[in-house]
Amino acid sequence: MTTPVERQLAPPGGWHPAPGSRIAPLPEAGGPRLVAWGLGRFVRGDTPAIFLVLMRHWRLFRAWFPFAARLMPFGRLDRRDTELAILRVGWNCRCRYEWGHHVAIGLRVGLSPQQIARVAQGPAAQGWEPRQAALLQSVDELHRDRILQPATWQALAAHYDERRLLELCLLIGHYEMLAGTLNSLGLPLDASAEKSLAQAPIHE
């Protein structure tokens, strides 16, 4: 079933507008074609336009991409926890590009449609495990306050070792940075991700 855009989940205030990128993506037929092809294979769809935009600053892209990949998908956190955190960042930042891509990835790594839909309700929603509630709380606190409160840190430390605690903070900050960049660019969701989002069984 395909859900029209106007009936899809959206945060309070709606998604930030994405009328078209202020910096045009590189054409896949030019530039670093092998990298673009490989990224398309990895995400199982179109090469994400954000990569093709960032490739316009090739030196920066080459430095950024290994760091980004070390957080996702090659981090130490459970992949489902990683995707819950990224989805909540996308929701909080009203970044439909980030949200749309990670709905598909979240489903692929084992999040249920109900869990993804529940991300919109936040850490206080019924149904979260204590670890998941603490995880989502940490996303909200870093978004709102730029600091984790002692109770939240203690709750996370009951489930994560020091390396994973550090990784979680950096993961959240990284995707906040990406969401701000995406919103500022006005980059619309890629066609394959748009189709996947419309077909995802998460919309009310």
32-91 pLDDT, tens digit per residue, is 555 655 565 555 667 899 999 999 999 999 999 999 999 999 999 999 999 999 999 999
User: For residue 158, is it within any domain?
Assistant: yes
User: For residue 24, is it within any domain?
Assistant: no
User: For residue 143, is it within any domain?
Assistant: yes
Q: Please give the structure tokens belonging to residue 158.
A: 């009951």
- Predicted TM-score of the model (pTM): 0.94
CA pair distance 98, 43, nearest whole angstrom: 13
Task: Give the type of residue at 154.
Answer: Q
Residue with tokens 């892209």: 61
* Residues near 153 by beta carbon (within 8 Å), at least 6 away in sequence: 165
Q: Please give the structure tokens belonging to residue 157.
A: 């430390």
User: For residue 66, is it within any domain?
Assistant: no
Residue 95 lies in domain: 77-199
CA pair distance 58, 132, nearest whole angstrom: 36
User: For residue 172, is it within any domain?
Assistant: yes
User: For residue 8, is it within any domain?
Assistant: no
* Residues near 125 by beta carbon (within 8 Å), at least 6 away in sequence: 118
User: For residue 22, is it within any domain?
Assistant: no
The count of domains in the chain is 1
Q: How many residues does the chain have?
A: 204
**Residue 101 is part of a domain; what is its CATH number?**
1.20.1290.10
Any idea what DSSP says for residue 170?
H
User: For residue 146, is it within any domain?
Assistant: yes
88-99 pLDDT, tens digit per residue, is 999 999 999 999
